[in-house]
Amino acid sequence: MIGLPVVYGLAGLIYAAYAVLSVRDGANPKRWRNGLFWGLFALSFLAGDRLGDFGNGLLVLALAANAGLGKLGQGAPEGPTPAQKAESARLLGNKLFVPALAIPAVVLFGTLVLKPVVVGGHPLLDPKQATLISLALAAVLATGIALVLLRQPLMSPLQEGRRLMDTVGWAALLPQMLAALGAVFALAGVGKAVGDLVTTWIPMDAKLAAVAVYCLGMAGFTIVMGNAFAAFPVMTAGVALPFLIGKFHGDPAVICAIGMLSGFCGTLMTPLAANFNVVPARLLELKDRYGVIRAQIPTAAPMLLINMVLMYVLAFR
């Protein structure tokens, strides 16, 4: 059975390649720091389950210490020049979208077709992680399609990936770290504390009030914490489970899905979601570092209100 260890192993090998390529890049004045940073991150994927809690804690502290020394260095990966890329894009036209469109197609195929497949009495894909495994498979296939379509060397995806990681820097780790923070908060009982605080100040006798508190809370905690995955266990344990699901008997799937989408509305409105909002401003070389956020707020705020309406209408049939 293909499970998450395969996905973790694939990600670990990719980051290990970034580490090796960084160390070998003489044009990067901080190549050893880059190599150490991505090497430690690769180790967390490749051997995190063997290091134990103490070992993983030391690994995270080492990553934080490395990032705390300042920005990672910017390398000069081998690859086509910007002019060559522009000419290739002009010649290929809309064919450039083929690798990108292949990803959702393969994910759907894996989730709907491969997930039920049984080989030797065992499922081909881990049923609980079929979508994530399919996404990893889709990324590999899309990379192969791009190599054939663009006629690039085999090392080109790794070099371009390293170029992007050098630009993004330590912010690439934020989603994983903040999701882990949410799990820590849930184990520490922060969700219960939030639920007690909410019930003290806000009457939760009406479904509409509970829906508003959950959706606004998801967006608010995401703005503060920088990631909806960190806010989700806190607000779901504190509000959704005891009130929307337990008291008002709402549909858990609908409530959790729309609740997460409400959190994503908060993601669009906070600079703490650096990998979504600050890094793109750097990549696009915008003069206003918060320009991406200013452009997204007019969409995020109405979408948050729409989420509340959708949850109230769809979750309590």
Give mean pLDDT in consecutive 10-residue pieces for the chain, a chain of 317 residues.
88 93 86 91 90 89 86 76 77 85 92 86 85 91 89 85 82 75 74 72 81 92 83 86 90 93 93 78 78 92 95 90
Domain-located, residue 67 = yes
* 53 shares a domain with 144: yes
How many folded domains does the chain comprise? Answer: 2
Q: Using an 8 Å Cβ cutoff, are 246 and 217 in contact?
A: no
Write out the residue range of the structural domain in which residue 161 sits. Answer: 4-170
Buried b (16+ CB within 10 A) or exposed e, 126-140: beebbebbbbbbbbe
* 161 shares a domain with 28: yes
Domain-located, residue 175 = no
pLDDT score, position 19: 93
Q: Using an 8 Å Cβ cutoff, are 169 and 71 in contact?
A: yes
* 242 shares a domain with 119: no
pLDDT score, position 12: 93
* 124 shares a domain with 90: yes
pLDDT score, position 42: 93
Whole-angstrom CA distances from 81 to 76, 78, 275 are 11, 9, 25
Phi, psi of 300 (to 5 degrees): -65, -45
* 193 shares a domain with 92: no
pTM comes to 0.74
**From CA 154, how far away is CA 177, in angstroms rounded?**
31
* 146 shares a domain with 109: yes
Q: Select from 170, 202, 224 the last residue of a domain.
A: 170
Domain-located, residue 177 = no
* 44 shares a domain with 156: yes
List the structure tokens of 296: 């997204």
Domain-located, residue 72 = yes
Q: Select from 110, 138, 170 the last residue of a domain.
A: 170
**From CA 258, how far away is CA 285, in angstroms rounded?**
33
pLDDT score, position 261: 95
* 151 shares a domain with 10: yes
Domain-located, residue 58 = yes
* 216 shares a domain with 124: no
Q: What angle do CA 234, 304, 271 make, to 5 degrees?
A: 70
Domain-located, residue 125 = yes
* 75 shares a domain with 42: yes
Q: Select from 125, 140, 170 the last residue of a domain.
A: 170
* 218 shares a domain with 80: no
pLDDT score, position 299: 94
Residue among 145, 167, 123, 139 at smallest CA distance from 1:
123
* 305 shares a domain with 216: yes
Domain-located, residue 73 = yes
